[in-house]
A and B are shown apart, each in its own frame.
Chain A
Amino acid sequence: MNLSALRELYKEPACSHNAKKETPACPRPTPGRAAGGCSFDGAYISLVPIADCAHMVHGPASCVANTWNNRGSLSSGPSLYRTAFTSDLDNNDVVFGGEKKLFKAVKEIIEKYSPPAIFVYQTCVTAMIGDDIDALCRAVSAKTGVPVIPVDSPGFTGTKNFGNRLAGDALLNHVIGTMEPATPHPFNANLIGEFNIAGELWAVLPLFDRLGIRIICSLSGDSRYHQVAMMHRARANMMVCSRALLNVARRMEEKYGIPFFEGSFYGAANTSDAIVKIAELMGEDGLLEKAKTLCDEERKKITPALEELKTRLEGKRVLLYTGGVKSWSIVGALQELGMTVIATGTRKSTEEDKLRIRELMGDDATMISEGSPRKLLEIFNKYGADVLMAGGRNQYTALKARIPFVDVNQERHVPFTGFDGHVRLAKAVADAIENPVFKLTRKPSPFEAL
């Protein structure tokens, strides 16, 4: 990717990191203190859930061989996305160039699997040796008629978050707006940044069906190529619980005049707000009323279960360490259950996110911007928390410290979205706190006592 294009992307105006700075840039990772993936990682994971496509990584083993298929994004149909394609560069390729190998590999995928489209990901090494994947993708597309989309995402360009943006850029440049729905429908919307982890999308889709709102595309959980290509026909975009792909929503607003808002399906109140907001953006009063009634009904339905769980959770203290929208949406969901959130992580949160955190937790809310394991444990003990809710990478930190833990990120197996999801979330927290193992493991071993 040339420098000016990169700079354009760094400048993403909707990104809060750029709000007040003169030279816009996403934060540079600090050597020796960096945690998290690179931009290739970010680009790859945001697009891989497009289930019917082949995802081809042009690079050496590290880029995909170590981590493929380890996220819980589920598909209701095709499973091609779970096959990790790579050109798996060797010494010779690095010296003589990997384009020929890539060309043959992509053609082989088309012959063997006939996918509706192929995404080709550029990585550090192939970018450095000068493989021109743009030209190559154009050539294969022209020859075979199958869309081959270059995703220019070498890891050295930045963080995982920035990689999400690179992925969005590829979709905006090559996919969105290239196909039209067969049948028009009055109410269309997209969910952007919903990855269907543990089936979370499936937990909310039925609600939209009941309102007659057609979700053209969930980007990118359980999505298909044609859905992405038709996204421009939506009347509203909801940015779901994630900063990822923010540029897609913003540029679709610019280009197609589609309004977007940030919302969350975590917690009954948030879910209601999101559904009502989408209905509102559809621009028909009848639909709005219907949406409100539906949400009221659903909330009533889960009240008995939530009340019962409340008796187990009331007064319990949570340390929440997650990113972005989740840093406030889950706070709300937990407070609804009578729990106290003692602190929340804001490493990936925007100023807007932080404002909402203050609204929910008060002005002196403890926000954790740097969550090293040691720091998390310190805070946990200082505030006398009962449970840590965070991503999988902190799971074993918690367990080694004999601390109850709930995974709120991508390695989960239980969907926490929607109304029923709120009950499941509450149950997961209660079960974690009450597990007898913690009491047992905190007792001294008889051998140390002897």
Chain B
Amino acid sequence: MRKKRNLTANPLRLSQPAGASLAFMGIGGCVPLWHGVQGCTAFAKILFIQHFREPMPFQTTALTQTSVVMGGDGNLLEAVENIRKDAKCIGVLTTGVAETCGADIKAAVRELGVKFPGLPVAVVSTPDFEGTLETGWVKACDSILDAFAGNRKEPRKRQVAFFVGPYVTPGEVEWLRETASAFGLRPVIFPDIGDSLYGRLSESDFVASSAGGVSLEEIATLADSSFVISIGRSMRDTAARFAVGTEARAFHFDHLCETEEIDRFFKTLCEKSGNETPRVFIRQRRHLMDAMLDAQFYFHGMTASVAGDPDFILRWEAPLAGIGASVKMFSSVPLENVPFGDLTEFKELAEEDDADILIGNSHVAELAADMGIAAVRAGIPVYDRFGETQSVRIGYEGLARLYMECANALMGRQSEKATPYVSKLQATLR
């Protein structure tokens, strides 16, 4: 990688406040309030609307040139005053603008507590000149736990707390819920964008906050859970720290996209629930083994280049390496032993590596089209396909589908066909 980066062309990194606001969307009745200029909010709003095909109830403190000089606390108070009727809770997140003008967010919160006693507010500092969507998500989660999670009171033997990262799709959140329920467990998923952003039509015509998610009451009981399962590297530390204070044991999974890890996941559920694995999953595992054997031909000698946040590239590296492809990871932010940068650099590297397939968001798929190679769309944003929000690529069945999706993409490539050759001497025949 370059020593000093001056230019970014076609960024891969999404902003940290975007990640924070997405995490707040997984809390029931929450309004993510962006402490920044209108535009900060609007851009992220459009990003998520296009990706999830859902309205995004983001609000902004709408800083102006006066307030960035004189201080924006007034704007924050005014914004909270205006949205508190619509919200069960408010998630305040800062942007680069608020941070640069020196907003003292902690002090502002104290002031909010005085002015609006009893109003649930979580606050997180997420300047967009550092981190990425993933780090913003984690910081927001930490702030929510700080604000709303209680101490351990009455242990709930059947309750399992899932701490999920931002690259677990709403469809996958639903899968976690159903799977844990199949073991007779009571899952609480934190944050729960499966409930709020899966895409379901509700009775009411208009909701000014997140339409679902894990409730504040449930968050208060997280500490009573019998055990904690974290999914996504980014959530590991948050879950571990949380577990330390609660006696609940934490089990971490970087992803559930590899047979051994899924095995471990089911074993954990078995042990902790005291129930056997339902037959449906055992049958799905057999199908996965069969599907992997069938599909492996298409991965022979293939190079897959994966671009995105660390959680995302890790969850793709494992399954592809596991079926014999050579995987080149490319990160949005610095990550040990992995190159990072923008999509222009990613394309250069992918060309150098002679990649056969690119895995990433819709921008990445466009690069693949330019290069005339295969692509699988995943991550955020996927704006040119339906169904990404509902996709399930975890668990035995989901992993089988992942392989088929990739194999299909590889099968459909133009370059799979040999280049025709016509002898010049043929012209002399007639």
Which A residues are within 8 Å of any B CB, using their own CB?
74-77, 179, 181-183, 185, 198-199, 201-203, 205-206, 208-209, 212, 214-216, 222, 226-227, 230, 396, 399-400, 402, 407, 413, 415, 427-428, 431-432, 434-438, 440-441, 445-447, 450
Q: Are B292 and A437 in contact (CB under 8 A)?
A: yes
A contact residues around B417 at 8 Å (CB): 74, 199
CB pair B292–A199 under 8 Å, yes or no, is: no
Smallest beta-carbon distance A386→chain B, Å? 15
Residues of chain B with a CB closer than 8 A to A185's CB: 425, 428
Cα–Cα distance between A435 and B295 once the two chains are bound (Å):
11
- With A431-B301, A435-B323, A440-B322 in contact, do A399 and B424 touch (Cβ < 8 Å)? no
Kindly identify which residue among A76, A77, A179, A209 contacts B424, using a CB–CB cutoff of 8 Å. A209
| 27 cross-chain CB contacts under 8 A | A75-B420, A77-B420, A181-B430, A199-B421, A201-B421, A202-B420, A202-B421, A205-B423, A206-B421, A212-B425, A222-B420, A399-B290, A402-B293, A415-B418, A432-B300, A434-B324, A435-B296, A435-B299, A437-B324, A438-B293, A441-B289, A441-B293, A445-B282, A445-B285, A446-B267, A447-B277, A450-B276
In the complex the two chains form, is A209's CB within 8 Å of B289's CB? no
When distances are taken between beta carbons in the complex, the residues of chain B under 8 Å from A216 are 429
Contact of B294 with A by CB under 8 A: yes
Bound together, the chains give a CA A445 to CA B287 distance in angstroms of 12
B277 touches A214 (CB 8 A): no
Complex: how many Å from CA A222 to CA B423?
12
Q: With a CB–CB cut-off of 8 A, which chain B residues contact A450?
A: 267, 270, 276-277
| B418 close to A203 (CB less than 8 A) | yes
B residues lining the A interface (CB < 8 Å): 259, 263, 266-267, 270, 276-277, 281-282, 285-286, 289-290, 292-294, 296-297, 299-301, 321-324, 416-426, 428-430
Q: How far is the CB of B409 from the nearest CB of chain A, in Å?
A: 15
Q: Are B296 and A437 in contact (CB under 8 A)?
A: yes
With A208-B423, A435-B296, A441-B292 as known contacts, state yes or no: A199 contacts B429, CB within 8 Å: no
CB distance from B317 to the nearest CB of A (A): 13
Whether B300 contacts A435 by the Cβ 8 Å rule is: yes
Give chain B residues whose Cβ lies under 8 Å from the Cβ of A400. 290, 293
Q: Are B420 and A199 in contact (CB under 8 A)?
A: yes
Bound CA–CA A208/B416 (angstroms): 25
Chain B positions within 8 Å of A202 at CB level: 418-421
Q: Is the CB of B418 within 8 A of A199?
A: yes
Let me know if A181 and B323 touch, CB within 8 A: no
Whether B423 pairs with A427 at a CB distance below 8 angstroms is: no
Task: State A413–B297 Cα separation when bound (angstroms).
Answer: 10
Give the nearest-CB partner of A396 in chain B. B294
B285, B421, B428: the one contacting A214 at CB < 8 Å is B428
- Secondary structure call for the B interface: helix
A294–chain B nearest beta-carbon distance, Å: 16
Bound Cα distance from A74 to B426, whole angstroms: 17
User: A212 — which chain B residues lie within 8 A by C-beta?
Assistant: 425
A139 to B301 Cα, complex, angstroms: 54
Partner of A446, one of B266, B421, B423: B266
Do the beta carbons of A209 and B266 come within 8 Å of each other?
A: no
Distance, CA A438 to CA B292, complexed state (A): 9
Q: Are B423 and A215 in contact (CB under 8 A)?
A: yes
* A196 to B: closest C-beta gap in Å: 9
A447: chain B residues within 8 A (beta carbon): 266, 277, 281-282, 285
A342 nearest CB across to chain B (Å): 22
Residues of A within 8 A of B299 (CB): 435
Q: Nearest Cβ in chain A — how far from B374, in angstroms?
A: 14
A214 in contact with B301 given A415-B418, A446-B267 (CB within 8 Å): no
Q: A183 vs B430: C-alpha distance in the bound complex, in angstroms?
A: 7
Q: Please name all residues of chain A whose beta carbon is closer than 8 Å to the beta carbon of B424 when the two chains form the complex.
A: 209
Query: How long is the Cα–Cα vector from A269 to B285 in the complex, in angstroms?
Result: 45
What residue of chain B has the Cβ atom nearest to residue A196's Cβ? B418
Cα of A206 to Cα of B425 in the assembled complex, Å? 11
Tell me whether A445 and B286 are in contact in the complex, defined as CB-CB below 8 angstroms, given that A185-B428, A226-B429 are known contacts: yes
Which residues of B sit under 8 angstroms from A431, Cβ to Cβ? 300-301, 324
B322: chain A residues within 8 A (beta carbon)? 436-437, 440
Determine if A440 and B428 form an interchain contact, defined as CB atoms under 8 angstroms apart: no
Check B425 against A446 for contact (C-beta < 8 Å): no
In-complex Cβ contact of A181 among B292, B293, B418, B429 (8 A):
B429
A419 to B263 CA separation, bound complex (whole angstroms): 45
| B283 (CB) vs chain A CBs: closest residue | A447
A202 to B416, CA, bound (A): 15
- CB distance A214 to B418 under 8 Å? no
Tell me the minimal C-beta distance from A383 to chain B in angstroms.
Answer: 22
Q: Assess the B420–A230 pair: CB atoms within 8 A.
A: no
Residues of A with C-beta under 8 A to B285: 445, 447
Q: A432-B300, A436-B323 are in contact. Are A182 and B430 (CB under 8 A)?
A: yes
Q: Collect the chain A residues with CB atoms within 8 Å of residue B282's CB.
A: 445, 447
Residue of B nearest to A427 (CB): B301
What residue of chain B has the Cβ atom nearest to residue A447's Cβ? B282
Closest B residue to A208 using CB positions: B423
The 10 A-B pairs of least Cβ separation, nearest first, read A199-B418, A76-B420, A431-B300, A202-B421, A183-B428, A214-B425, A435-B324, A399-B293, A182-B430, A441-B289
Name the residue of chain B whose CB is nearest to the CB of A187. B425
> In the complex, what distance in Å separates the CA atom of A215 from the CA atom of B419?
18
Which residues of B sit under 8 angstroms from A427, Cβ to Cβ? 300-301
B428 surroundings in chain A (CB, below 8 A) = 181-183, 185, 214
Chain B residues with CB below 8 A from A446, complex form:
263, 266-267
- Distance from A101 Cβ to chain B, minimum over Cβ atoms (Å): 34
Q: How far, in angstroms, from A113 to B294 measured CA to CA in the complex? A: 39
**Cα distance A389–B266 when bound, in Å?**
37
Contacts of B429 in A (CB 8 A): 181-183, 214, 216, 226-227, 230
CB distance from B364 to the nearest CB of A (A): 25
Please determine whether B418 and A74 come into contact, CB atoms closer than 8 angstroms.
yes
- Give the chain B neighbours of A209 by CB distance below 8 A: 423-425
> Which residues of chain B have C-beta atoms less than 8 A from A407's C-beta?
297
Complex CA gap A310/B246 in Å reads 57
